[in-house]
Chain A
Amino acid sequence: NAGVMQNPRHLVRRRGQEARLRCSPMKGHSHVYWYRQLPEEGLKFMVYLQKENIIDESGMPKERFSAEFPKEGPSILRIQQVVRGDSAAYFCASSRGLAGYQETQYFGPGTRLLVL
């Protein structure tokens, strides 16, 4: 049973380019969460999605960031017109049920984004 998969593992972009980060949840999991981690810090919640629905995007910047989880295929976190401050590790997690009901979230390996 494969775990949460993310790709790419490392991504280098120049300022102004777009970054697309992909996340495939664990088999049987329909809830996906995206987090951002700055160096030497804990994780910050960005967005929570179920298939075809954004449930909570309160942690995601209003500008330049978007997320989707289509019926088929992985969840995508998209960052347009990247800036140096976007450099961070982006983690995706999935759970079988709603995490508010004490489900454990399982994390992918992360995508390390570096903006030059």
Chain B
Amino acid sequence: ELKVEQNPLFLSMQEGKNYTIYCNYSTTSDRLYWYRQDPGKSLESLFVLLSNGAVKQEGRLMASLDTKARLSTLHITAAVHDLSATYFCAVGDSNYQLIWGAGTKLIIKP
């Protein structure tokens, strides 16, 4: 059974700092997604990672995938307040279901 673990679950940081969110998963998968959710809102797709070594960047966010280690990272560079949100990773199972991490609640203080 595929399990997905994110850490940390809560992160409070200052603007301008760098930090990384980790997503570990337990069995082989060919796709991993990162989503952002603002309080009371829906989920916004950030990145889709499909192969070992894949790296994608959008603004201050960069996601990478290591399929051998079954690990994805979401790196935040020089954080700004607007990035405060909850970030989820979701991993595709052998069929079509997405198995979700519990989410990382990120608070960025001015």
The interface of chain A, by Cβ under 8 A from chain B, is: 40-45, 48, 56, 59, 91, 98-100, 102, 104-110, 112
On whether A48 and B88 interact (CB within 8 A), knowing A41-B102, A107-B43, the answer reads no
> Within the complex, which residue of B48, B88, B92, B95 is in contact with A43, where a contact is CB–CB below 8 Å?
B88
> Within the complex, which residue of A59, A99, A109 is in contact with B42, where a contact is CB–CB below 8 Å?
A109
On whether A109 and B41 interact (CB within 8 A), knowing A43-B88, A56-B97, A100-B95, the answer reads yes
Are A102 and B30 in contact (CB-based, < 8 A)? yes
In the bound complex, what is the Cα–Cα distance between A100 and B50 (angstroms)? 12
Interface size range on B against A: 20 to 34
9 A-B pairs within 8 Å (CB atoms) are namely: A40-B103, A42-B102, A43-B88, A99-B96, A100-B96, A105-B33, A105-B98, A109-B41, A110-B41
In the bound complex, what is the Cα–Cα distance between A5 and B24 (angstroms)? 32
The interface of chain B, by Cβ under 8 A from chain A, is: 4, 30-31, 33, 35, 40-45, 48, 50, 88, 90, 92, 95-103
Q: Which 10 interchain pairs have the tightest Cβ spacing? A: A42-B100, A100-B96, A99-B96, A107-B43, A109-B42, A43-B100, A107-B42, A45-B97, A42-B102, A102-B31
In the bound complex, what is the Cα–Cα distance between A110 and B42 (angstroms)? 6
> Within the complex, which residue of B42, B95, B96 is in contact with A91, where a contact is CB–CB below 8 Å?
B42
B94 CB to nearest chain A CB (Å)? 8
Are B96 and A48 in contact (CB-based, < 8 A)? yes
On whether A42 and B48 interact (CB within 8 A), knowing A102-B30, A104-B33, the answer reads no
Interface centre among A40, A42, A44 (most CB of B within 10 A): A42
Beyond A41-B103, A107-B45, 15 additional contacts (C-beta under 8 Å) are A42-B4, A42-B88, A42-B100, A42-B103, A44-B100, A48-B96, A91-B42, A91-B43, A100-B95, A102-B50, A104-B33, A105-B98, A107-B35, A107-B43, A110-B42
